[in-house]
Amino acid sequence: MKPSSSDREAPVSGVPLTAPRGGARPCSGAAARGGRALAPFAWPIRAVASSAIAFLCASAGSLPALAQSVAGPVTYQLDPNHTFVTFEVLHFGTSTLRGRIGPVNGEVTIDRTAKMGDLRLRIPVTTVSTGTRMLDARLREPDLLATTEYPEAYFVATKFQFDVAGGVKEVRGEFTLRGVGEPLSLVARSFACRQDAMLKRQVCGGDFDGALKRSRFGATMGLPFVGDDVHLVVQVEAIAP
Amino acid sequence: MTKSSLLAIAAALGFAAAAHAESATYAIEPSHTFATFEIGHFGTSTNRGRFNKTSGTVTLDKAAKTGSLDVTVDTTSLDTGTAAFTKHISSEEILNVAANPTARLVATKFVFNGDKVSEIDGNLTLNGKTNPVVLKAQNFNCYQNPMLKREVCGGDFDATIVRSQYGVSYGLNYGFPDNVHLVIQVEAVKQ
């Protein structure tokens, strides 16, 4: 319901807090085929550099695919005004308790020709909002989100599946919460790209679903009255350069 | 009046009293009761907003399978996660919460599936306009809350409303959808 740009509050570029250790990591932006989850802090600071590195790496590793490519890899900056993670968990087997985390910063590189992608989300768990301040405070404590020790969660995904139209169908990677990394798959409920009239850029995004067991991450308070199965509902929009 | 007819009346009264005793009043538990709206954003993703303050009462007669509710949502408690978005939706252009600080759902028809509420048919007043609305239950359950030491009933309900019917027509001409999905968590404590 909101125009995309006129009322933007936050900058769209997700600048990492920490510079890449040991200098740049060439090909980190296009390490999709390796499938190795990278350290959350390892991505290049500048989107332009990331895109260039991803392009070079893609060309080194996938010449035939690139020959057919028009655009090559494109790095999108997440639009924090339209990127939120909502978790849903069943309360006493009765109703669904929801909490929103965000705005979320990060970036995603997509190469539709090579059918590769690379997504890095920094999820500020300190922003957890349920609508009830007491519950928000309780969620930040050490036996749940442990936000003092772990103020951010991360999702680093390098395995992308595309549909026939080139839309993102599924992203798989590693979700790190409370310092514990576990595999996570986000499946698109919807995905689309548009030419945004106000931004005059391409914007891609959608709604994704994921599932995890909170006990696997050590967030055990309230079990079993509050469920172990957590449903993630992710809204994401990302803006092309 | 014969003895048997007196007995019959007594039995009928007794039955009525027993049936009446099945009807209970529940107060909305505000920390587990939230209405969230979902609306498509340019065909790309879904924008959400949650109203943080809801109050009201529900009556439930599990034996007679009837119920009613009268719930008020404080529209000034809207929270989207983005201050500018919250401000815009609250403005005169959209929900006009200064003029209409509450939305209200009144229902007297509860549909049961077995012993669980499966649907609530009521009237929603939003932005000063009232239209019928059907809430479908995704979950419904009652449990004994160990902290409150009382029965709590609740569930998840959803509904789709057509916002222009409530006079909320902002952006329809540039592609913001008319249909809005409402996702409602509710729990209510037996009084």
CATH number at residue B37: 2.40.128.110
- Structure tokens, A232: 């993630």
Q: Which pairing describes strands B116-126 and B102-113: parallel, antiparallel, or unpaired? A: antiparallel
Looking at the domain assignment, is residue B44 inside a domain?
yes
Q: Which residue of chain A is at minimal alpha-carbon distance from B175?
A: A1
Looking at the domain assignment, is residue B16 inside a domain?
no
Q: Comparing C-alpha atoms, which of A49, A65, A70 is closest to residue A116?
A: A65
How far is it, in rounded angstroms, from Cα B191 to Cα B188?
Answer: 9
Element (H, E) at B21: helix B3-22
Domain span including residue B51:
23-190
Work out how many domains chain B is built from and give that number.
Answer: 1
The CATH number of the structural domain formed by A28-239 is 2.40.128.110
Indicate the residue of B47, B81, B143 with minimum beta-carbon distance to A1. B47
Looking at the domain assignment, is residue B15 inside a domain?
no
pLDDT tens-digit series, residues A90-120: 999 999 999 999 999 999 999 999 999 999 9
Q: pLDDT category, B175, cuts 50, 70, 90?
A: confident
How far is it, in rounded angstroms, from Cα A19 to Cα A23?
Answer: 8
Looking at the domain assignment, is residue B1 inside a domain?
no
Q: Do B42 and A236 touch (CB under 8 A)?
A: no
pLDDT for the residue B97: 98
Partners of residue B138 in chain A, C-beta under 8 Å: 96
Q: Do A95 and B139 touch (CB under 8 A)?
A: yes
Report the amino acid identity of residue B87. K
How far is it, in rounded angstroms, from Cα B17 to Cα B10?
Answer: 10
pLDDT tens-digit series, residues B53-80: 999 999 999 999 999 999 999 999 999 9
DSSP state of A39: P
Partners of residue A128 in chain B, C-beta under 8 Å: none
Looking at the domain assignment, is residue B185 inside a domain?
yes
Indicate the residue of B42, B83, B171 with minimum beta-carbon distance to A194. B42
Q: Report domain extents, chain A.
A: 28-239
- Structure tokens, A70: 């028009």
Q: Comparing C-alpha atoms, which of A124, A82, A230, A231 is closest to residue B49?
A: A82
Indicate the residue of B39, B156, B170 with minimum beta-carbon distance to A96. B156
Asked if the C-beta of B156 comes within 8 angstroms of chain A's C-beta atoms, the answer is: yes
Q: Comparing C-alpha atoms, which of B110, B131, B145, B136 is closest to residue B32?
A: B145
Phi (first) and psi of residue B20, to 5 degrees: -60, -35
Partners of residue A91 in chain B, C-beta under 8 Å: 32, 187
pLDDT tens-digit series, residues B109-165: 999 999 999 999 999 999 999 999 999 999 999 999 999 999 999 999 999 999 999
Q: Which of A1, A81, A199 would you mutate first to test chain B, the one with the most B CBs within 10 A?
A: A1
pLDDT tens-digit series, residues A5-44: 433 333 333 333 333 333 333 333 333 333 333 333 333 3
**A211 DSSP β-pair partners:** A231
**Residue A40, preceding peptide bond in cis (omega within 30° of 0):** no
ipTM score assigned to the predicted complex = 0.87
Partners of residue B44 in chain A, C-beta under 8 Å: 82, 190, 192-194, 203-206, 237
pLDDT for the residue B4: 58
Phi (first) and psi of residue A134, to 5 degrees: -65, -40
Helix (H, G, I), strand (E, B) or coil at A59: helix
Q: Please tell me the pTM assigned to this model.
A: 0.80
Q: How many CB atoms lie within 10 A of CB B109?
A: 12
